[in-house]
Amino acid sequence: MSLETYKPADVRDAAAAYAKLEKSKAEIAYKNTAEPLASMGATHWNVRPDIYRESQHIAINLTGGTWNSYFDHPEGFWRDYTSVDHWYKAGRGDPLPEHLGDAAVAWILGEHTGAMPVEWLIWWGWWIIPADGLGWRPYNGWQGDHKGKDGHIHITYRIKR
């Protein structure tokens, strides 16, 4: 199956769903300000095209799972277009097994990272900002600890200049 023909059912209506969300952006932003503990944003797949291709590759060849972004991802940062979460087969909320995530992270941060520079990545209770050279550090659990039942890889890619 080629990357171009791989489309999870949910992806097909993503553009329409995102357009609808855009209309209510101001309203949602206000709600998030007023209720900081409100549930996280709606799922979408509207990411930069090269990130879309990269995410499909990772899901098909490395995790065997799914990926998505969401509205205001991560909350307060508005990096939806350059941020992705990798979950397991059933989609957002289906925990990714540790060994599969480990393999994907090794690839993402390995030799491939020159093509798709990562700004920060969170996985299994740890996070890393490759540019600062400090390596892995414990993640404080803001928006979930990303391990066990919350097992998913969060990636924010660098904005191209």
Which residue is associated with the tokens 């992705």? 84
Residue 147 interacts with Zn ion (CB under 5 A): yes or no: no
Among 85, 87, 121, 124, binds Zn ion (CB under 5 A): 85
User: 97-127 burial string, b = 16+ CB within 10 Å, else e?
Assistant: eeebbeebbeebbeeeeeebebebbbbbbbb
Cα dihedral 100/106/109/110 (nearest 10): -140
Residue with smaller CB distance to Zn ion, 23 or 102: 102
Residue with smaller CB distance to Zn ion, 147 or 154: 154
Binding mask 101-140 for Zn ion (x = CB under 5 A): ----------------------------------------
How many residues at the interface with Zn ion, by CB under 5 A?
2
Residue with smaller CB distance to Zn ion, 92 or 112: 92
Residue 146 interacts with Zn ion (CB under 5 A): yes or no: no
As measured in angstroms, the least distance from the Cβ of 44 to Zn ion is 12
Q: CB 143: neighbour CB atoms within 10 A?
A: 15
Residue 154 interacts with Zn ion (CB under 5 A): yes or no: yes
As measured in angstroms, the least distance from the Cβ of 4 to Zn ion is 25
- The residue with its CB nearest to Zn ion is 154
In whole angstroms, what is the distance from residue 69 CA to residue 110 CA?
Answer: 23
Give Cβ neighbours of residue 73 (< 8 Å, ≥ 6 apart): 41, 79, 80, 83, 85
- Considering only the stretches 43-51, 60-68, 78-86, 109-117, report the one whose residues sit in contact with Zn ion under the rule CB under 5 A: 78-86
Residues that bind Zn ion (CB under 5 A): 85, 154
